[in-house]
Structure 1
């Protein structure tokens, strides 16, 4: 059972194509296939989704690390507002977690930029992930600059 398509010279006897000169009437061959791929139906970019997830993970990580240090802040200072020697471990954990999270933000920003450069992919998550990771990196740099200025 072979399928022989109609010739392109004479239009089919379909009522959809009764008069091609009417405004809004479909042109012959336009509706031959019921499903035509929409060029806007792209998939989300994988690196963009990864960048967005990294941004959310680092947001949660920053919140957890600062809440952890906030709970232990009473144990960090003594009566004269001097830093206790025993609190060095808490300060070390905060510094280490902030450095690890900043490194994750760099990875997330690079991944978001890669996600924005992919063709035929949606770029929503890549843009959001790049912006969030970039803001965290900017805040990290401002924090480092503030510490360096106050240390002098």
Structure 2
């Protein structure tokens, strides 16, 4: 069983982003969902999609959010191609094991043939000055 303190909304960094208490480069917002750039992207333009409601794993996702969650994931996967020029995307989520934040989140990672990503080894990068906002703006425009 998960530690109740680490899974509580009060201790959750994604809940703080949803509440506007922590900064994020938001690329998509709906009444139920928010998507923003990962702070430590696999590749620039790596997006995290989360429900606004504190939900820990995919099995916990309310039925009413399943279709909107997947529909938003489809839109983001399209946006990384159209807005960033990626050839495709890697879409994934962890449930508990390897879940660095105990709040359901889906990764959409832009991919290009020969980008060096192999298996589940995810080398992390950093955004340069102004790059994070630029990538967020490009994705936001593609999702509009």
Q: TM bucket by the smaller chain? A: under 0.3
> Counting helix residues as a fraction of each chain, which structure ranks higher?
1
* Greater Cα radius of gyration, structure 1 or 2: 1
> Counting strand residues as a fraction of each chain, which structure ranks higher?
2
State the TM-score, normalized to the length of structure 1: 0.23
State the TM-score, normalized to the length of structure 2: 0.24
